[in-house]
Chain A
Amino acid sequence: KAGVTQTPRYLIKTRGQQVTLSCSPISGHRSVSWYQQTPGQGLQFLFEYFSETQRNKGNFPGRFSGRQFSNSRSEMNVSTLELGDSALYLCASSIRGQGAGNTIYFGEGSWLTVV
């Protein structure tokens, strides 16, 4: 059974640009969550999608957005990139969603560097 796949693995962008990251969940998983991981702030929750609907949202500015497709694949987009957006972006999938004792499975992440 394939795990959570994130693309691209590494990318470098310039301030002001926008970026789109992709996540393919484990087959059969309908929930996809996105997290930002930085050395200073740790792992912070961005948003969760379940059956194409955003179910939960963290405390990030509107420049961070996401969506989920009918096949459960998800994308997140960051517009007007800032240096502080440099981070590892992790996607996690689960059958029913985070919480309630459900197991979530993380991908290897997308390393974004903003210069």
Chain B
Amino acid sequence: TQLLEQSPQFLSIQEGENLTVYCNSSSVFSSLQWYRQEPGEGPVLLVTVVTGGEVKKLKRLTFQFGDARKDSSLHITAAQTGDTGLYLCAGEAAGNKLTFGGGTRVLVKP
């Protein structure tokens, strides 16, 4: 069984601060996706990273895929209250199965 561990499980910061969420595994994934889920809604895809060492930027969000394609990180610069939500990473394994991490709940306080 391929497991994805996210850390921290919960993060509370003030608006304007930076934060980093980590997604780690002992398994290699062919791609890794990050989602954000808000209360009462389904997860929404933020980004897909495919190449080891790849860095993608989406406005204030920076996503990195580890060189060995076993881990990933999400960094948010100058967090805003609208960034509040549950952040999920999901790794694609053989057989096109997606394995989700446990999630990191982020609270950005005004």
List chain A positions with a Cβ less than 8 A from chain B.
4, 33, 35, 42-45, 55-56, 90, 92, 97-101, 103-109
Contact = CB atoms under 8 A, between A and B. Distances in A.
Interface in B38-97: 40-45, 48, 50, 88, 90, 92-93, 95-97
Interface stretch (B11-19, B20-28, B100-108): B100-108
B7 interface: no
Given A56-B95, A99-B97, 7 more contacts: A42-B100, A43-B43, A43-B88, A98-B97, A98-B98, A99-B96, A104-B98
A53 B95 CA distance: 15
Contacts of B45: 103-105
A13 B45 CA distance: 31
A109 B100 contact: no
12 contacts: A42-B100, A42-B103, A45-B97, A55-B96, A90-B43, A99-B92, A100-B92, A101-B48, A101-B92, A106-B43, A108-B41, A109-B42
Contacts, number: 60
Contact of B96 (A35, A100, A103, A105): A100
Contacts of A109: 41-42
Interface residue tally of chain B, by bracket? 20 to 34
Nearest to B40: A108
Nearest to B103: A42
Nearest to A98: B98
Q: Which of B43, B44, B101, B103 has the most CB of A within 10 A?
A: B43
A107 B37 CA distance: 11
Q: Which of B31, B42, B92, B101 has the most CB of A within 10 A?
A: B42
A98 B43 CA distance: 14
Nearest to A35: B100
A1 to B, nearest CB: 15
- Top 3 closest pairs, chain A to chain B, by CB: A99-B96, A106-B42, A43-B100
A55 B90 CA distance: 19
